[in-house]
Amino acid sequence: MDMRTTRERDEPGARSTRGELDGLLEQVALGDAEAFEALYEQIAGVVYGLVRRVVRDPVQSEEVAQDVLLEVWRSAARFDPGRGTAFAWVTTMAHRRAVDLVRSVEASRAREQRAVHEIAHDDVSEAVVDRLDRERVRRCLDRLTEVQRASVKLAYYGGYTHQEVAGLLKVPLGTVKTRMRDGLIKLRDCLGVVAE
Amino acid sequence: MRVDVHTLAGPYALDAVTSEERRAFEDHLRSCPSCEHEIDGLREATARLGHAVAIRPPAYLKQQVMERITETRQLPARRNPGQRPSARPAGAHQGRRPITTTVAMLTSAAAMVAAFLAVQADYRADLADRRTQSIAAVLSAPDARTVNGQKATLIVSRSRDAAIFTGAKLPRPPSGQAYQLWLLAPDGSPRPAGLLQSGPYVVTALGDATHLAVTVEPGGGSALPTTKPIDRIPMT
């Protein structure tokens, strides 16, 4: 049982960045291209990295990443701060598009075969950005149980549905659903992130 | 296929659902503010998962994106900035029935209003307080009556000297324009009665007005109607 009580959130850097992002997005909504450039500097690494991880194909990943960033510009005024952070808004958009693409282009057999490598995936450390944030998330992920972590990672990075995850991990569907939720709650609490 | 929505929160937040399940879950979210709130919280966690895989994109990506935004139109905000409703609690609070009984007794228009309030209360506390009080005042009035117009519905109470306007069948106004309400005197002359935002609108100070009209006006409103009414509802 994990006896650590220190929360991973007690690191200033990432926090202030997050608040800044919301402000930048507000400016972007008013057509401020400089604000958009600053916002790009902060989120492009996550957007591109996430899309690349899910979609895998470099050319397609670039296209999707570009689409997402343009959509951020286009619909900045539609962002509702009452529903969460700008960061979550952007990454939700990126993740959805990446998942939709990978599911439409990959036949299910190919996806099952890929899953074998997915479970044991080792991230390539090329051009890593946001090292502090990266380490925080990894430490928090380490606090999840095996099934929680595997379910969350297969779903998020692999783009698998919960039914597929249940099949891959050989656990009942109900179990996967609960583990996903519990895993995310644990992650949320460890990172100390709130929607408002 | 019956979707048991409450167990799908985790998968949904991870996008680990089929499009059918996603649709069903989002339908559910629309009527479940606490579920929506939970999802928002879970999303903050999934968002951070991106950090673990972030890598520097190719330099030309930035160039391409910065170029493209110069030729990409931005969407306006969903709501019209317009005028804030100057709702004040209308009339005296005498003869008040408990709101739940009253709602049950009125038509579905009132039920819509009450449902709207239940959702709004979670998110727009200060604005809804004043509007909620005004709406409650009208709904609980003994003489509250529903009148259906062509596009919208009015719940009128002469004793409260106020009416609730709910424009359920109104499409979004053209960009830069807004719906404006007018109170029509017995001789037909109009006076401005407010600009519509989302949700029910409380019109106050009815006076001797016999009808309520709706026109499309430029975003900031007009002193007199510049277009023909799209609806004209009697308030007798």
The phi and psi torsions of B233 (rounded to 5 degrees) equal -110, 125
Residue position matching structure tokens 């005498």: B94
Tell me the shortest Cα–Cα distance from B107 to chain A, in angstroms.
Answer: 32
Give the per-residue pLDDT at A37.
96
- The mean pLDDT of B4-29, rounded to a whole number, is 91
Contact A47, A69 (CB under 8 A): yes
Tell me the shortest Cα–Cα distance from A41 to chain B, in angstroms.
Answer: 9
Residues of A in contact with B58 (CB under 8 A): 62
- The mean pLDDT of B164-173, rounded to a whole number, is 79
Determine whether the interchain pair B61/A187 forms a contact, defined as Cβ–Cβ distance below 8 Å: no
| Per-residue pLDDT band at B136 (split at 50, 70, 90) | confident
B42, B51, B78: residue with CB nearest A130: B51
Give the per-residue pLDDT at B211.
93
Determine whether the interchain pair A185/B42 forms a contact, defined as Cβ–Cβ distance below 8 Å: yes
Give the per-residue pLDDT at A125.
56
Determine whether the interchain pair B72/A70 forms a contact, defined as Cβ–Cβ distance below 8 Å: yes
B41, B52, B58: residue with CB nearest A134: B52
Give the per-residue pLDDT at A116.
64
Determine whether the interchain pair A95/B76 forms a contact, defined as Cβ–Cβ distance below 8 Å: no
Give the per-residue pLDDT at B67.
95
Q: How does DSSP classify residue B230?
A: S
What is the DSSP secondary-structure string of B5-72?
GGGGHHHHHTT-S-HHHHHHHHHHHHT-HHHHHHHHHHHHHHHHHGGGG-BPPPHHHHHHHHHHHTT-
Nearest to residue B102, comparing CAs of B66, B50, B146? Answer: B146
- The mean pLDDT of B3-21, rounded to a whole number, is 88
d(CA B236, CA B227): 24
What is the DSSP secondary-structure string of A88-153?
HHHHHHHHHHHHHHHHHHS-HHHHHHHHHHHHT-----TTB--HHHHHHHHHHHHTS-HHHHHHHH
Question: Which has the minimum average pLDDT: A22-26, B89-93, B227-231?
Answer: B89-93
Name which of A34, A46, A55, A143 to mutate to probe chain B: the one with the most chain B Cβ atoms within 10 A of its Cβ. Answer: A46
Contact A154, A70 (CB under 8 A): no
Q: CB contact, 8 Å: B175 with chain A?
A: no
Residues of A in contact with B122 (CB under 8 A): none
Tell me what percent of the residues of chain B surpass a pLDDT of 70. 75
Give the per-residue pLDDT at A171.
96
Render pLDDT for A120-134 as a digit per residue (tens, 0 to 9). Answer: 565 555 677 788 889
Q: How does DSSP classify residue B138?
A: H
Low-confidence residues of chain A: pLDDT under 70? 1-18, 107-109, 112, 116-126, 194-196
- Name which residue leads in pLDDT, B141 or B225: B225
Q: CB contact, 8 Å: B46 with chain A?
A: yes
Give the per-residue pLDDT at B123.
45
- The mean pLDDT of B195-218, rounded to a whole number, is 87
Q: Is the pTM of this model over 0.80?
A: no
Give the per-residue pLDDT at B205.
86
3-state secondary structure of B2: coil
Name which of A162, A190, A196 to mutate to probe chain B: the one with the most chain B Cβ atoms within 10 A of its Cβ. Answer: A162
Give the per-residue pLDDT at A18.
59
Give the per-residue pLDDT at B86.
35
Candidate ranges A12-21, A175-184, B69-78, B172-181; pick with highest mean pLDDT: A175-184
Q: What per-residue string of b and e applies to B5-21 under the rule 16 or more CB within 10 Å gives b?
A: bebbbbbbbbbbbeeeb
Give the per-residue pLDDT at B143.
85
Is B128's pLDDT higher than 60? no
